[in-house]
Amino acid sequence: MTDKTANSMWGGRFAGGPDAIMEAINASIGFDKRMAAQDIEGSRAHAAMLAATGILSDKDGEAIREGLLTVLSEIETGKFPFSAALEDIHMNVEARLKEIVGEAAGRLHTARSRNDQVATDFKLWVRDQMDAVDGALEALLRALLQQAEAGADWVMPGFTHLQVAQPVTWGHHMMAYVEMFGRDRSRFADARARMNESPLGAAALAGTSFPIDRHMTAKALGFDRPAANSLDAVADRDFALEFLSAATITGMHLSRLAEELVIWSSAQFRFVALSDRFSTGSSIMPQKRNPDAAELIRAKIGRIMGAMVGLFTVMKGLPLAYSKDMQEDKEQVFDAADNLMLALAAMEGMVRDMTANRAALAAAAGSGFSTATDLADWLVRALGLPFREAHHVTGSLVAMAEEKDCDLPDLTLEDMQSVHSAITASVFDVLGVENSVNSRTSYGGTAPDQVRLQIARWKEDLG
C-alpha cells in the first residue's frame, strides 16, 4: 500500500505520508481487525438505511451491501490483505470495498464518522462477548449443580479463617458458588441491557444534517434504541468498563474456587481428585499431580483486573467527545475477554470431571470440635441458658476434650456434667456431624432438604 493510497482515505489536506513511527503508533489494524464482522454488520445496516431514506440510490446501496459480504468472506477465509498503512479495520474494509464496487464505496461513509462507527463496532463486539460469557457461565452453573446434587447430604467441614467451624454438606458448598456465579451472570445481563443503545448516526460528535433514520439502524443491529446524545454516544466507553468490571468480579470468584481446588486436591486434604485432563506431573518428582489448571485460573484475575484498571486510567481524564486515547480501549478488553472465556471453560471442565472424596470429607467434618456451636445451641434450647453462658460452658468442654485428646462426642455424660450439672444424655443427639447438618433447616441452611430445595430452584431457573 503506497502513501498516496493511504492519504486518499484522509482527503487532500495532508501532502506527505506518515513516517514509520507515526504509522506504528497510530495504526490499530493489528488488533481491531477482530471487529471485522461487527464493522461489516454495522456498515451493511448503514447502507440499507441510506438507501431507504433516499440519501443513497438503491443500486449503490445494494452494490455496497453485496460488496461488504464479499469482503467479509475474504476475511473469514484468510484471504484479506490487511494493511497497517490504512490504520484500522474501517479503512481497510472501505478500501477493499472500493476495489470491488468502485466509486459507490465512497458513498458508504455519508452521514457517519469513524467516531460513531468504532463506537458501534466495539459495542457490538462487547455485546457478542457478553452473550458468549453468559453461555459459559450457564455451563459452569450446570456443572456445579451436578456436583451439588450428587453430594447434597455428604458432610464436610465448613471453614472460617481456613479453620474448621461447623459441619456443612458438600452440596451446600457447591451451591455457594452457584449463587456467586449466578450473580455474575446477572451482572453481565444488567450491563448488556444498559449498553444496548446504538451510537450509529451520532457522526463525529454533533449528529448529521442528512435525514437519516437512526431508529432503523438501531433495530437492524439489535439495539433497543439509538443513543439519545451524540456527544455521549461517541465518548462513551461505559459498556466496556462495565464488561471489565463484571469480568473482574467473575474472575475473582473463579480465583476463589480455584484456590479451594488447589487446597482440596493436596495430599493433606484429599477432599477432591482432579482429572488427568486438568492436572500435570512434575519433571523431577514422579509422585506429583499438580493442579496447574486451577493455579492458572487463579492467576487470570491479575490480567482481567489489570485490564479494568488500565481502561479506567485511559478514560478518567478525557474531555468530550472523542480523543485518540480511546484507541487504547480495545486490546485490554480483548485480552480480558479471551482470558475470562478460557478460565470459565477450564473451570467448567474441572468441576465436571472432579471426584469428591466422601470419606475424607466426612472424616474432616468431625474434626476441630466442629459441633461446638450445636452444643451451645442445645444448652440454650434445652437448659434455657443465656447464649453467653452457653458459650462459656461449651468452651470449657472443648478445653476438656483437648486435654483428653478426643472430640466432643467422645466425652462421657459425667465429664459434661462436671462442667454443668444440668446436662442430660440428650445432648449427644446434637453432637454428631450428621445431626448437626440435618438440624440446619433455616432457609438457605446446609440441611440436605434445604440444599435440594435450592438445587431444584436453580434447575428450574436454568430450564
Q: What is the rounded radius of gyration, in angstroms, for the C-alpha atoms of the chain?
A: 31
Q: Provide the 10 A C-beta neighbour count for residue 378.
A: 23
CA dist 389 and 69 (Å) reads 78
- Cα→Cα distances 96→83, 92, 330, Å: 10, 6, 23
In whole angstroms, what is the distance from residue 392 CA to residue 169 CA?
27
Q: CB–CB of 181/381 below 8 Å?
A: no
Q: Which of 355, 452, 350 is nearest to 140 (CA)?
A: 350
Distances (CA, A) of 269 to 151, 260, 362: 18, 10, 12
Cβ contact 376:297 at 8 Å: no
Q: How far is it, in rounded angstroms, from Cα 124 to Cα 192?
A: 10
CA distance 403 to 401: 5
Burial code (b: 16+ CB inside 10 Å, e: under 16) for 144-165 equals bbebbbebbbbbbbbbeeeebb
Q: How far is CA 55 from CA 48, 50, 108, 114, 461, in A?
A: 10, 5, 10, 19, 47
Catalytic residues, which ones?
161, 282
Q: What residues are paired with 166 via a beta bridge?
A: 158
DSSP string for residues in 58-122? HHHHHHHHHHHHHHHHHHHTT-----GGG-SHHHHHHHHHHHHHGGGGGGTTTT--HHHHHHHHH
**214 phi, psi to nearest 5 deg:** -70, -25
